[in-house]
Structure 1
Amino acid sequence: MRSSATSILLILPLAACSHHKANVNDGAVYETYGVHNNQDDSPCASPDCRYVRGPGEPADPIYPPYWTSNWTMYRVFQNYQTHLPPYDGRPPAPLQEGTDYEVSYGATYYDSTWRGPSGDGAMMEHYEKRCLPIFPIDNQFTCSFISLGNAAFFVTYPEDRPKGMPPVCLFSKWNHPPRRDFVKHLPYSQGDSAQLGTGGQGYSFWVSAANGRPIQTGASPDRTQDPAILFGYAFAPVNGVVQPQSFYFSGYPMPPANAPIVSQNYTNFAPVQPEPAKTWAQVSGLDPATLPLCQLFDPPSTPGPQAAEGALMTAPPREAPAKAAPTWGDIGRWRKQ
């Protein structure tokens, strides 16, 4: 059963296999610095991919055991260089909706108590009409990323599924939901925090597209052209309780996604347990070994906007002969050295 953002998170694995170092034969493994997979699979700034907080810095926020939240996604495609996230609401003036950024919606469902053969933890990030714009593809369709333990699935829906795509493909065998204490893997940024008002806490870094290593703490200044990729998460108090405020990051900065900066700002956050029938039940009975691998970071090239009749693809086709900008897949895909 598909869920609706009106009726009601990047994904990661581990638990029972939390000390497993991925093998090159395991398929797609993306570097997330300990957030979504084993810290040994990323070129972190410290050996344990953990940032120790300094004097005067706040204690790390912790996710509730389970929660749900709607969010508003801002895809900022123009004049972002001097108006970087985190955003305390809409992107600030003089940025204008339609001219400088696009608004879309979605929802996240999280349950750290889920247990299954693939590991611990369940998470679903559902994008309405605008899929996650971190890939070099047209993102104008509804999608969901579902992580059950280590297995991460990519789901599309009949009303706007790109031609030739299956309903489900395997995003990664090693991409679990963030652990409740995942913020320990991100550096605290005083500059990011100041943009959120009293009690706001921002954690972010830019990583080099050349080698994947962190090169800057904090979203500002912009490093898109270096090229580098931003990953950040913010918390803020609501009625005296600190809760997720936004997830902000670099999307694919060139057409067709055209998403140099993206921010998912949470709304209606509630520490309630998601209903499996409305979330991950749609993939919980699937065997990851039987699914086609997704091609989202490496979409197939075609001579025209549509694939050949009857062709099976696991990403919308790309007309351009080559990517013009790096993706998380370029710096994060597991490769032999």
Structure 2
Amino acid sequence: MSDSYARFLGHSGAALAALLCCWASDASAADQPDNVYSTYGVHNPPADSPCANPDCAYVREPGQPTDPQYPAYWSSNWNMYRVFNGYVQNPPPYDGAPPPALKPGRDYEISKGATYYDSTWRGPAGEGAMMEHYDKRCLPIFPISNHYTCSFISLGDTAFFVTYEKDRPKGMPPVCLFSPSNHPPRTDFISHLPYSSGDSERLGNRVQGYSFWVAADTGKPIQVGVSPDRTKDRAIMFGYAFMSKATPDRVDKSAKPYRHAQSFYFSGYPLPPANAPMVSQNYTNFAMVRPDPKTTWDLVSKLDPKTLPQCQLFNPPAEMVGLAATPRAPTWGDIKHR
């Protein structure tokens, strides 16, 4: 665990709860469908998404590789590349950093974070626990600046969004309810993404790439594979890559070799202030390390979701958008339910 991350974990669940005194939510259950997002079977039931297939699953064709799976639990740091120039000619997946034709600072920004995953977790809200922690640069899929530290924590079906005192944006609560139906990916989640031979071949088939573009107005999948780029068509992309070769775990030497997760690549919010048309999170030390609840889930495990304010990340108040805002681009929050 990085020192910077450890510093941000100085908040206990009780302290966060105390900070929420002025942010009690008056949202009713009738408001909840607005924060149940289309995730195409990855984070919630197929009925919540306009998938290509009724069960949001893809049958692999002859000649395509078998599906890799997550280990039951794991931890990993990663580098996040927010690519704002040259992404059309240099699409992901990336072998570490973007290709040499793209330069840091000029074409992309690098930030860091970590993911903690445990499919064996069980609680009142369901099964599975996951925390994605973004250090100094939050997930750039919202129409606001991402220059702050944040964490997404899913416990069963309940997903929380956490910000930190050091750099919390004005008007944003310490914790809000991101979604009442957004569980961690299951270990076999990749079955919900189409295999892309183009994505895989981009890295010499050292990886198995899976991705699709969806039309923001209908939510329907319109293309398999990252290339050609569809950002100008107002489409949204979601992709994931695993290593093609099974290798031993870095920590658990007794575990059977498996195909490690390589990267998570996706469309961010393409316009200012986020300016993130293409994003890739590349894992750096993926390993079967069971997360410590004290530094992950316990940040929110004692909170009652019914008392939390609803997050306004996809439709933020004017004070969060700022003067640099341009005409709005579509977001994942705009995709309509089936």
TM-score normalised over the length of structure 2: 0.86
Q: Distance in 1 between matches of 2:156 and 2:139?
A: 21
SS of residue paired to 1:273: coil
Q: Distance in 2 between matches of 1:178 and 1:167?
A: 25
| Conservation of the 8 A alpha-carbon contact between 1:122 and 1:177 | yes
Counterpart of 2:35 in structure 1 is: 28
**Larger deviation: 273-282 or 317-326?**
317-326
Amino acid at match of 1:61: P
| Conservation of the 8 A alpha-carbon contact between 2:272 and 2:324 | no
Establish whether residue 301 from structure 1 lines up as the match of residue 300 from structure 2.
no
**Larger deviation: 26-35 or 256-265?**
26-35
Evaluate the alpha carbon distance shift between residue 280 and residue 108 of structure 1 in structure 2; reply closer, same or farther with a 3 A threshold. Answer: same
Deviation at 1:322, TM superposition (A): 6.9
Amino acid at match of 2:70: Y
Establish whether residue 225 from structure 1 lines up as the match of residue 218 from structure 2.
no
Amino acid at match of 1:179: R
| Conservation of the 8 A alpha-carbon contact between 1:68 and 1:274 | yes
Please give the per-residue CA displacement for 1:59-82, whole angstroms capped at 9, x wherever unaligned.
100110000000000000011111
Counterpart of 2:266 in structure 1 is: 249
Structure 2: segments with no counterpart, 5+ residues: 8-28, 249-257
Please give the per-residue CA displacement for 1:224-275, whole angstroms capped at 9, x wherever unaligned.
0111000000001474641100000000000000000000000110111100
| Conservation of the 8 A alpha-carbon contact between 2:272 and 2:325 | no
SS of residue paired to 1:194: helix
Please give the per-residue CA displacement for 1:6-50, whole angstroms capped at 9, x wherever unaligned.
89xxxxxxxxxxxxxx98754511101000111111111111111
Evaluate the alpha carbon distance shift between residue 40 and residue 4 of structure 1 in structure 2; reply closer, same or farther with a 3 A threshold. Answer: farther
Counterpart of 2:149 in structure 1 is: 142
Counterpart of 1:18 in structure 2 is: none
Evaluate the alpha carbon distance shift between residue 61 and residue 190 of structure 1 in structure 2; reply closer, same or farther with a 3 A threshold. Answer: same
Deviation at 1:101, TM superposition (A): 0.3
Evaluate the alpha carbon distance shift between residue 318 and residue 297 of structure 1 in structure 2; reply closer, same or farther with a 3 A threshold. Answer: farther
Establish whether residue 329 from structure 1 lines up as the match of residue 333 from structure 2.
yes
Q: Distance in 2 between matches of 1:5 and 1:203?
A: 30
- Equivalent of 1:275, from 264, 267, 292? 292
Deviation at 1:282, TM superposition (A): 0.5
Q: Distance in 1 between matches of 2:187 and 2:30?
A: 25
Amino acid at match of 2:74: W
Runs of 4+ in 1 over 4 A off after TM superposition: 2-7, 22-27, 320-323
| Conservation of the 8 A alpha-carbon contact between 1:67 and 1:274 | yes
| Conservation of the 8 A alpha-carbon contact between 1:299 and 1:318 | no
| Conservation of the 8 A alpha-carbon contact between 1:76 and 1:262 | yes
Establish whether residue 90 from structure 1 lines up as the match of residue 97 from structure 2.
yes
SS of residue paired to 1:188: coil
Counterparts of 1:76-155 in structure 2, within 5 Å, are 76-155=83-162
SS of residue paired to 1:281: helix
| Conservation of the 8 A alpha-carbon contact between 1:235 and 1:244 | yes
Deviation at 1:194, TM superposition (A): 1.2
- Greater helix share, structure number: 2
Paired residues, number: 306
TM-score normalised over the length of structure 1: 0.86
Q: Distance in 2 between matches of 1:263 and 1:151?
A: 25
Please give the per-residue CA displacement for 1:101-141, whole angstroms capped at 9, x wherever unaligned.
00000000000000011110000000000000000001100
Evaluate the alpha carbon distance shift between residue 165 and residue 36 of structure 1 in structure 2; reply closer, same or farther with a 3 A threshold. Answer: same
Structure 1: segments with no counterpart, 5+ residues: 8-21, 303-315
Counterpart of 2:283 in structure 1 is: 266
* Superposition RMSD in Å: 2.0
Amino acid at match of 1:271: M
Q: Distance in 1 between matches of 2:39 and 2:70?
A: 18
| Conservation of the 8 A alpha-carbon contact between 1:300 and 1:318 | no
Deviation at 1:195, TM superposition (A): 2.0
Amino acid at match of 1:270: A
